[in-house]
Chains A and B, each alone.
Chain A
Amino acid sequence: MIKGRRSKKTESIPVLRLFLVWAVLVTGAIALGWKLYRLQIVQGPELKRKARQQQKSPVSLYVPRRPIIDGEGNFLAMDRLLFTLYAHPIMFKIDTEKMAGKLGKILPNLTMAELRDKLASQKTGVRISDMVMESEAGQVKSLYLDGLELERRYARIYPSEDVAAALIGYVDGERRGQAGVEYSQQTLLARNELTLPLSSTGMDNLMPTHVLEGLVNLDDLRLQLTLNLRLQRVARAALKRQMAEYKAKRGAVLVMDALDGSLLALVTEPTYNPNDYHEYGLKLLKNWVITDLYEPGSTFKPINVALALEAGLIKSHERFNDTGRITIDRSVISNHDYYSKGGRGYITIPQILQYSSNVGMIRIAQRMGRKGYYEALEQLEIQEKTGVDLPGETPGYLKPKKVFTRSGIEAAAASFGQGLSLTPLKIVQLHGAIANGGKLVTPHVVRGLVDPSGKFHWQPPLRKKRVFSAQTSQTVLEMMETVVTKGSGKVAKIPGYRIGGKTGTAQKASATGGYQENAKITSFVAILPVDDPRYVVLAVVDEPKGENTFGSTVAAPIVKEVMEALIAIEQIPRSTVP
């Protein structure tokens, strides 16, 4: 029924009205269609571009150069963000006075007057400050003021300042490592900046459209060193004190774990602060412990004893005639105490080391023969690099075989550590072989790439080469122990601990040939504990001034202080067998 009524109604609607409605609707539809066509097809690409430009902004993710930490997790080098704040007064929408007031509250280093002057100085591109901290930059951003611009950059900081500079190194203005681990491990440390085109909403919120792809590759691995910062500090303080007392030119302390060659401390003085590296001369920036050669002197004697024992040419209980002075190829060589003590007669090998007898050592070297001795020295890889993971290593120097074997003087000089030159690091490596049962290990400072939970993701491959038998090294070590208990190394004695050591006071070679009259280099090397040998400690002090300057007086006290700290830090138990 209802339907019937409606049909009647329809019949009666005037055609004109119907047409009008239809026309309005159709015109509207056509107009809308036209607009749609204009927007989508004609202006489409242009509008799309504009929209993208508004929505997408390149977001620089925080990808710092990897931090460097010590063996205990202390940060030695880390990145932080710094900002440069520029102002463009021409674009300000508030007056300059107000702007200065707002900025003054955020930047405590600038006074209101300074800010006002800066803002009035130029219409655009005013550099307000280039040391704006991250938190300050955040506050500036949240002001949402026109005419301010922040430029982000990474800055490397070295919190321990000059404590371990020789080892860590520094990065230059372009963030390239220039020395130390920063240089040698550049590939592990450096990472490219990652900028992702992210979409953002009108409220400046990021939209998670493409984020994951980029974020997945980020890691927070750190480069861990074998260094112990606490030990390093103790070593540095002890070295500085002795250097000041003896007005020495320079000095170094090295501590190595002989089991694997990891360096627990590497101090050189004078040194530099890597935070302000540009204020120092180039000479200070190099690590002379591995770049400079010196004649090791008596610290090389135990190595020679080990070579002769290993070759079976001497027996550990044998005695040698120490005449106090000896003439070889018309050159007279005497003991350092010949004028006060004269000849000592027949003495044991431990006594040769205790008195640091040159004549005794010459007798031992003579047993080996020039050629045999030279070949044995070659076995110690003196002319090769140790392979330490620090830049600029210099291999040691031995005279050419022909020169060495031509006359007896060369072998005689080498027997007490003169006429051949090595880096302090090489001496530590050689003594490491006495400490660890006869193996040449690779001294190194990099333990590996570690994540914050302590799991290693990369570790360097390490090499070991046997040069002495375990028995030889233990015999020599026990001989070295007598140097500390009865000989020239008494200063280094620590009650309750068995320590082996050897002093060294070597004349410095002059540039014109021969030796300098008053310049010497004093050193002391120690191995501890003798009952479970593991650590090698070496102190070298170059050109100490004064009367009483010997390895035993200048360098041994440093080694003692370092060993005391080492015992406490590494928790080395007292020796059970005295």
Chain B
Amino acid sequence: MSVSRHRLQKPKQEKVKKLPAWKSKLPTGLRALLFLKRSVSVFLFLSITATVIVYSRKEYVEGEWSKSYRELEAWLRDERELTATNEAIKNQLADLAEKPKTGLVPITPKTTIFLDAAEDHPLKESQTTTIRETFGEKTPLGY
């Protein structure tokens, strides 16, 4: 309030001078520093953005890796248990099969079917050579 009053009281005593553009008056060193400040700000912003992206990406990948590793462990565990169970069952079955009560008989040539090897049918001579001749050496293989 006091400022405005002061102005109103002395309207014509001081002439307001038009100020020169401050930038042009600033010393070169200061201007360079200002430019540097602005560049650094831009650079800082970009770096922070990049860091955030990289960091979140890393966190995500780590999470994924960890998840996959657990899955792998679970699979390996299942594989081990399945193998052990499978072998135990096979052994049980084999033990059972040895008992005559089960009605299973051991494998012998009598219970095996042997097929005679097929006779040799020599392939007829292919006609590749004639084809080559027909098309001759004048015809290129590709264009």
Q: How many cross-chain pairs have Cβ atoms below 8 Å apart between A and B?
A: 87
B80 neighbours in A (Cβ, 8 Å): 78, 80-81, 134
B106 neighbours in A (Cβ, 8 Å): 234, 237, 561, 564-565
Q: A40 to B103, alpha carbons, bound, how many Å?
A: 80
Which residues 535-575 of A sit at the B interface, judged by CB distance below 8 A? 561, 564-565, 567-569, 571, 573-574
A561 neighbours in B (Cβ, 8 Å): 106
Cβ of B98 and Cβ of A205 under 8 Å apart? no
Is A27 among interface residues, defined by CB-CB distance under 8 A?
no
A510 neighbours in B (Cβ, 8 Å): none
Is B112 among interface residues, defined by CB-CB distance under 8 A?
yes
B36 neighbours in A (Cβ, 8 Å): none
A135-B77, A135-B81 given; A206·B108 CB < 8 A: no
Q: A80 to B87, alpha carbons, bound, how many Å?
A: 13
A159-B91, A205-B63, A207-B62 given; A78·B109 CB < 8 A: no
Is B135 among interface residues, defined by CB-CB distance under 8 A?
no
Q: A134 to B81, alpha carbons, bound, how many Å?
A: 8
A494 neighbours in B (Cβ, 8 Å): 109
Is B40 among interface residues, defined by CB-CB distance under 8 A?
no
Pick the residue among A74, A568, A573 that contacts B90 (CB under 8 A).
A74
Cβ of B83 and Cβ of A75 under 8 Å apart? yes
B94 neighbours in A (Cβ, 8 Å): 163, 233
Nearest B-chain residue to A1, judged by Cβ:
B19
Cβ of B66 and Cβ of A205 under 8 Å apart? yes
Q: How far is the CB of A230 from chain B (nearest CB, A)?
A: 8
Is B48 among interface residues, defined by CB-CB distance under 8 A?
no
Is B118 among interface residues, defined by CB-CB distance under 8 A?
no
Cβ of B87 and Cβ of A564 under 8 Å apart? no
Which residues 49-87 of B sit at the A interface, judged by CB distance below 8 A? 62-63, 65-67, 69, 73, 76-77, 80-81, 83-84, 87
Q: A74 to B91, alpha carbons, bound, how many Å?
A: 10
Is A62 among interface residues, defined by CB-CB distance under 8 A?
yes
A495 neighbours in B (Cβ, 8 Å): 109
Residues of chain B at interface, number, CB under 8 A: 29
Cβ of B91 and Cβ of A157 under 8 Å apart? no
Q: How far is the CB of A39 from chain B (nearest CB, A)?
A: 21
Nearest A-chain residue to B89, judged by Cβ:
A159
A496 neighbours in B (Cβ, 8 Å): 109
A497 neighbours in B (Cβ, 8 Å): 109
Is B22 among interface residues, defined by CB-CB distance under 8 A?
yes
Is B33 among interface residues, defined by CB-CB distance under 8 A?
no
B83 neighbours in A (Cβ, 8 Å): 75, 78
Is A217 among interface residues, defined by CB-CB distance under 8 A?
no
Is A202 among interface residues, defined by CB-CB distance under 8 A?
no
Q: A74 to B76, alpha carbons, bound, how many Å?
A: 18
Nearest B-chain residue to A572, judged by Cβ:
B109
Q: A157 to B81, alpha carbons, bound, how many Å?
A: 12
Is B111 among interface residues, defined by CB-CB distance under 8 A?
yes
Is B107 among interface residues, defined by CB-CB distance under 8 A?
yes
Is B88 among interface residues, defined by CB-CB distance under 8 A?
yes
B63 neighbours in A (Cβ, 8 Å): 205
Cβ of B114 and Cβ of A573 under 8 Å apart? yes
A80 neighbours in B (Cβ, 8 Å): 80-81, 84
Is A291 among interface residues, defined by CB-CB distance under 8 A?
no
A205-B62, A207-B62 given; A574·B114 CB < 8 A: yes
Residues of chain A at interface, number, CB under 8 A: 42
Q: How far is the CB of B136 from chain A (nearest CB, A)?
A: 47
Is A3 among interface residues, defined by CB-CB distance under 8 A?
yes
A201 neighbours in B (Cβ, 8 Å): 62, 66
Is A383 among interface residues, defined by CB-CB distance under 8 A?
no
Q: How far is the CB of A496 from chain B (nearest CB, A)?
A: 7
Is A208 among interface residues, defined by CB-CB distance under 8 A?
yes
Cβ of A75 and Cβ of B66 under 8 Å apart? no
Is B141 among interface residues, defined by CB-CB distance under 8 A?
no
Is B131 among interface residues, defined by CB-CB distance under 8 A?
no
A206 neighbours in B (Cβ, 8 Å): 65-66, 69
Q: How far is the CB of A11 from chain B (nearest CB, A)?
A: 10
Q: How far is the CB of A59 from chain B (nearest CB, A)?
A: 10
Cβ of A564 and Cβ of B108 under 8 Å apart? yes
A78-B87, A159-B91 given; A138·B109 CB < 8 A: no
Cβ of A567 and Cβ of B109 under 8 Å apart? yes
Q: How far is the CB of B93 from chain A (nearest CB, A)?
A: 11
Cβ of B91 and Cβ of A160 under 8 Å apart? yes
Nearest A-chain residue to B117, judged by Cβ:
A573
Cβ of A567 and Cβ of B112 under 8 Å apart? yes
Is A161 among interface residues, defined by CB-CB distance under 8 A?
yes
Is B8 among interface residues, defined by CB-CB distance under 8 A?
no
Is B26 among interface residues, defined by CB-CB distance under 8 A?
no
Nearest B-chain residue to A159, judged by Cβ:
B87
Nearest A-chain residue to B63, judged by Cβ:
A205
Which residues 478-506 of A sit at the B interface, judged by CB distance below 8 A? 494-497
Contact flags A423-441 to B (C-beta < 8 A → 1, else 0): 0000000000000000000
Q: How far is the CB of B94 from chain A (nearest CB, A)?
A: 6
Is B3 among interface residues, defined by CB-CB distance under 8 A?
yes
Cβ of B87 and Cβ of A74 under 8 Å apart? yes
Q: How far is the CB of B100 from chain A (nearest CB, A)?
A: 11
B67 neighbours in A (Cβ, 8 Å): 205
Q: How far is the CB of A211 from chain B (nearest CB, A)?
A: 8
Is A283 among interface residues, defined by CB-CB distance under 8 A?
no
B84 neighbours in A (Cβ, 8 Å): 78, 80, 157, 159
Q: A78 to B86, alpha carbons, bound, how many Å?
A: 12
Q: How far is the CB of A227 from chain B (nearest CB, A)?
A: 14
Nearest B-chain residue to A12, judged by Cβ:
B3
Cβ of B87 and Cβ of A568 under 8 Å apart? no
Nearest B-chain residue to A568, judged by Cβ:
B107
Cβ of A237 and Cβ of B98 under 8 Å apart? yes
A74, A159, A163, A206 pick with most chain B CB within 10 angstroms = A159
Between-chain CB contacts (< 8 Å), 23 pairs: A3-B19, A62-B73, A74-B87, A78-B83, A133-B81, A138-B77, A159-B90, A159-B91, A163-B94, A205-B66, A206-B69, A207-B62, A211-B69, A234-B107, A237-B106, A496-B109, A561-B106, A564-B107, A564-B108, A565-B106, A567-B109, A569-B107, A571-B112
Q: Which 9 A-B pairs have the closest CB atoms?
A: A159-B87, A205-B66, A568-B107, A564-B108, A568-B112, A208-B65, A567-B109, A75-B87, A237-B98
Apart from A62-B73, A134-B77, A201-B66, 8 more pairs, CB < 8 Å: A75-B83, A135-B81, A159-B88, A159-B90, A205-B62, A230-B107, A237-B98, A496-B109
